[in-house]
């Protein structure tokens, strides 16, 4: 059903059983899947594709130009996966040619009120952005990560699988898979995201091993972290979960990681 007051430009593609609420706007290059519910006063523009079963709440704005001076109205994209919940006042911007030309959000993601996904971000599956969380351009967020309310993530930061960022945290460095970080001025690593891993079905032994690996990784100068990770990778070559952690480090050994401080339980 399309409300009579909604504007749907010629060329927009709307799947079956998809509802468009009052005073909403769909641009000519928008593609919506099946069983999507667009509430009133939603704007979706640009080359934006949203897969099935999304719920998009009032005043969400998707597909507007990126906040980047280099952007000159080039054709760039947004892709949003299945079963996503996008709440009021969320903003998701198009990619840029100087980036990957696409902003991606995976399946089963929950973007709470006022959260922001900037140009060229890549968000995995089952990610949660809590109220007013903001991702700057080119941020990569892996599956099952949770970004706390009022947190800000700097450009190009990588956030690993199952990581948890506490509310009002300023994230400037990469966050390891399974980690918990917090810090209003500059975040630091406080330990392993034990609660989150339990909720995702990790066994007690697996969690203990991850914590042990954390302690080994940070047992020494930070400049030698990739060396220690490489040694551990040989030892745990057959352990998929541990390799997720070590590969995160070794894929980009030149990047700075969010480190523990003296209060952390892993030092």
| Residue 156 annotated to the active site | no
User: Which one is catalytic: 137, 149, 160, 179?
Assistant: 137
Strand order in the sheet with 61-64: 7-8, 25-26, 43-44, 61-64, 91-93, 116-117, 134-135, 152-153, 170-171
Q: Is 120 a catalytic residue?
A: yes
Catalytic residue among 119, 148, 162, 196: 119
Contacts 24+ apart (CB under 8 A), 249-252: 249/176, 249/217, 249/225, 250/226, 252/158, 252/174
Distance of CA 109 to the CA centre of its chain: 9
Choose the catalytic residue: 45, 120, 142, 143: 120
- 50's CB contacts (< 8 A; 6+ apart) are 30, 31, 32, 33, 36, 44, 56, 62, 80, 84
Is 138 annotated in the active site? Answer: no
Give dist(CA 136, CA 68) in Å, integer.
11
Look at residues 97, 100, 104, 150 and name the one whose alpha carbon lies nearest to residue 127.
104
Catalytic residue numbers read 119-120, 137
């Amino acid at each position: 059903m399309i409300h009579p007051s909604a504007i749907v430009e010629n060329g927009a593609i709307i799947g079956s059983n998809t509802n468009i609420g009052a005073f909403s706007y769909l641009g000519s290059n928008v593609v919506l899947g099946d069983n999507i519910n667009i509430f009133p006063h939603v704007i979706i523009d640009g080359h934006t594709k949203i897969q099935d079963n999304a719920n998009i709440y009032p005043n969400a704005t998707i597909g507007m130009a990126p906040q980047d001076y280099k952007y000159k109205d080039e054709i760039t994209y947004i892709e949003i996966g299945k079963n996503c919940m996008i709440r009021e006042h969320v903003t998701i911007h198009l990619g840029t040619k100087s980036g990957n030309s696409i902003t991606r959000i995976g399946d089963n993601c929950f973007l709470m009120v006022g959260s922001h996904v900037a140009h060229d971000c890549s968000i995995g599956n089952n990610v949660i952005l809590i109220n007013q969380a903001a991702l700057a351009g080119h941020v990569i967020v892996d599956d099952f990560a949770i970004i706390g309310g009022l947190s800000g993530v700097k450009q190009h930061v990588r956030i690993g699988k199952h990581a948890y960022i506490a509310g009002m945290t300023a994230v400037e460095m990469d966050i390891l898979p399974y980690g918990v970080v917090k810090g209003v001025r500059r975040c630091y690593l406080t330990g392993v995201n034990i609660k989150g891993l339990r909720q995702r079905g990790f066994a007690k032994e697996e969690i203990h091993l991850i914590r042990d690996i954390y302690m080994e990784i940070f047992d020494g100068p930070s400049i030698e972290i990739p060396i220690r990770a490489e040694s551990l990778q040989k030892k745990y070559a057959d352990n998929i979960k541990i390799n997720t952690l070590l590969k995160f480090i070794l894929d980009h050994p030149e990047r700075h990681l969010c480190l523990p401080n003296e209060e952390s339980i892993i030092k």
